[in-house]
Amino acid sequence: MKKENKWILPIIVITGTVVFIISLTMLFLGDELDRMFNVIGIRVVALFLAFASFLSSMLFSLLILIHNKTVVKINDDTNKRAELFRELQFASSNYTIIDFVDRMLIYPESERYIDKMITQKSSMFHMLEEGISIEDVYQNKDNYQFITVRIPFRVVEGKIVSAITFDKLRFERDGDKYEFYGEDRTKEARAFILYNERTKRNNVIMNLVMHKSSNCYRPAEVNRFTKIKIFINITSLLGVKVEGNSELYFSNPEQIEGDNTNTYAIHSSNFLITDGPKITNLSSKI
């Protein structure tokens, strides 16, 4: 718009100057034109006046067009700002933040769900240890071990939880870090949400796939970790998403239970928001 304003003013000035000079010339040379052209001179003047009137109308219409474009752009910008404000207001009022509580359980995944994963070739609710190919898991299941992580949580602020996804899950043990990702590292891994009628708590469940030779988790042993960090995305029932990471503060188990379950007492968890809240499409999480 600024560019248009820069060239429209010079055009008006130049055109007006030319018309003014020609008009003065015809005024001072009126007698001479009358002797030279007689009646034709009057026609020449009339033609000039018609052209000048057309040019003037054209310039006036151009000014109106530019003005209308300016008004439209201002209105569009105002509407976009208003829509952005409404979205921000909605998102800031309808997000969800959770806190992991009680006891985290780690135990072998059910063979029924493992077979279902291999048969359907669906890695939903599963994360893979870094460096593992999902196709190799489908073809060589016996080379891998499958464990389930189950963590109770509560909503500490906001609305009811609609979906929880993990970007990354990190365990630290004996100075080494073990990281788990979804089938595609660029996408989120969907977690399963289960409500426990006995404890009256919601639980987030994620299944992990790792090599049997991995030192991250040893079956039938007490597995002690120094740190567990979850890079998590929480979507509320109204479709507002919050991204962040949660670090668990816990006590390691003293002994393993009869079904090879390791139980970790969670003292607290620290949730740090890294992005959001923002409105998202709930259908993209299914």
Torsion over CA: 59, 63, 64, 68 (sign): positive
Tokens of 265: 């007492």
φ/ψ of 74, rounded to 5, equals: -65, -45
The predicted-structure confidence for 150-159, as pLDDT tens digits, reads as follows 999 999 988 8
260: tokens are 């090879």
**What radius of gyration, in Å, describes the C-alpha atoms of the chain?**
37
pLDDT of residue 41: 57
* CA dihedral over 248, 250, 254, 257, signed as positive or negative: negative
Q: What is the pLDDT of residue 157?
A: 87
In angstroms, the CA 25 to CA 23 distance is: 5
Segment (H or E) for 22:
helix 2-28
pLDDT of the residue at 37: 58
Share of the chain above pLDDT 70, in %: 83
What is the arithmetic mean of pLDDT over 116-122?
Answer: 91
The larger pLDDT score, comparing residue 184 to residue 244, is at 244
Contact 209, 132 (CB under 8 A): yes
- Supply the mean pLDDT for the chain: 84
**Sequence-separated (6 or more) residues with CB below 8 Å from residue 73:** 1
pLDDT in tens, 28-48: 666 666 666 555 556 666 666
What's residue 17's pLDDT?
Answer: 74
- The predicted-structure confidence for 203-221, as pLDDT tens digits, reads as follows 999 999 999 988 899 888 8
pLDDT confidence tier of residue 181, bands split at 50, 70 and 90: very high
Q: Name the token pair of 101.
A: 């509580």
285 — pLDDT class (breaks 50, 70, 90): very low
pLDDT at 71 over 50: yes
Q: How far is 121 from 175, CA to CA, in rounded Å?
A: 34
Q: Report d(CA 97, CA 237) in Å as an integer.
A: 12
Residues 6+ apart with CB under 8 A from 91: 240, 276, 277, 278, 279
Name the residue among 117, 207, 121 with its Cα closest to residue 169.
Answer: 207
Interatomic CA distance for residues 159 and 240, integer angstroms: 9
Q: Which of 24-28, 217-221, 228-232, 280-284 has the highest mean pLDDT?
A: 228-232
